[in-house]
């Protein structure tokens, strides 16, 4: 991974982005940058009344993530690799799903201005899972503010991510099917994922462990 500096992990709610980022950071001695979703004061309200609080929750996330992304520009003399559990573009994906046309227009004006100063990752890892797997993962971690998440909403998020990464060409991309692996509980699964990511990536690569059995 010596040709990489900035690696971003993305995927829908409950797919394991933060878990994989933490584990890879520990194994590879990388600097870790995690999304601070719990700091959003509108998140709980959004899950309870999405139509009323969608714009507030998206605008807070947009500005918070922008500030965090600017901090990535600072040179880190102690780490050769930086791993993040999100990409800045994720905010647009959720905004397209959650905002009405009027609010989305204003949001996109602000987002377009901010995106000019965002650094692209050297490599993106997109974690895939079917919606049933996401539902199980969300229930397992038991976050109180996610208790009202519906199957329909998670499925819509899943579809938005699938459509975006189906056409993604901005950076090298590794797509990992996580339906039949558990890199949190199974050390061998984690080793297999890291080994696959270590291989040079040009364009898009697909890692589907189930297909290799």
Residue 45 domain-assigned?
no
Q: Is the pTM value of this prediction over 0.85?
A: yes
Number of domains forming the structure of the chain: 1
Residue (of 197, 205, 210) closest to 27 by Cα position = 197
Q: Which domain holds residue 134?
A: 6-36+68-89+116-212
- Give φ, ψ of 40 to 5 degrees: -75, 115
Residue 22 domain-assigned?
yes
Q: At what angle do helices 50-71 and 101-115 cross, to 10 degrees?
A: 0
pLDDT tens digit sequence for 108-128: 999 999 999 898 899 999 999
CATH code at 207?
A: 3.40.50.300
pLDDT tens digit sequence for 154-206: 999 999 999 999 999 999 999 999 999 999 889 999 999 999 988 888 889 99
- The position carrying tokens 């050769």 is 80
Beta strand extents in 29-178 (DSSP E only): 31-33, 82-84, 123-128, 173-177
Residue 1 domain-assigned?
no
Residue 49 predicted with pLDDT over 60: yes
């Amino acid at each position: 991974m010596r040709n990489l500096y900035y690696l971003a992990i993305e995927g829908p709610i409950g797919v394991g982005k933060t878990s994989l980022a933490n584990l890879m950071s520990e194994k590879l001695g990388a600097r870790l940058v995690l999304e601070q979703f719990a700091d959003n004061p509108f998140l709980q309200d959004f899950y309870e009344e999405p139509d009323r609080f969608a714009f507030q929750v998206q605008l807070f996330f947009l500005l918070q993530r922008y500030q965090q992304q600017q901090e990535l520009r600072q040179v880190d003399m102690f780490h050769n690799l930086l791993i993040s559990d999100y990409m800045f573009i994720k905010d647009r994906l959720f905004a397209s799903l959650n905002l009405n046309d009027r609010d989305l227009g204003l949001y996109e004006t602000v987002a377009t201005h901010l995106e000019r100063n965002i650094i692209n990752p050297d490599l993106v890892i997109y974690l895939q899972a079917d919606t049933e797997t996401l539902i199980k993962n969300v229930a397992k971690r038991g976050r109180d503010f996610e208790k009202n998440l519906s199957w329909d909403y998670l499925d819509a998020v899943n579809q938005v991510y699938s459509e975006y990464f189906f056409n993604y060409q901005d950076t090298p991309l590794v797509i990992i099917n996580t339906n039949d692996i558990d890199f949190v509980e199974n050390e061998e699964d984690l080793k297999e994922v890291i080994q696959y990511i270590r291989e040079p990536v040009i364009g898009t690569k697909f890692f589907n462990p189930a297909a290799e059995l």
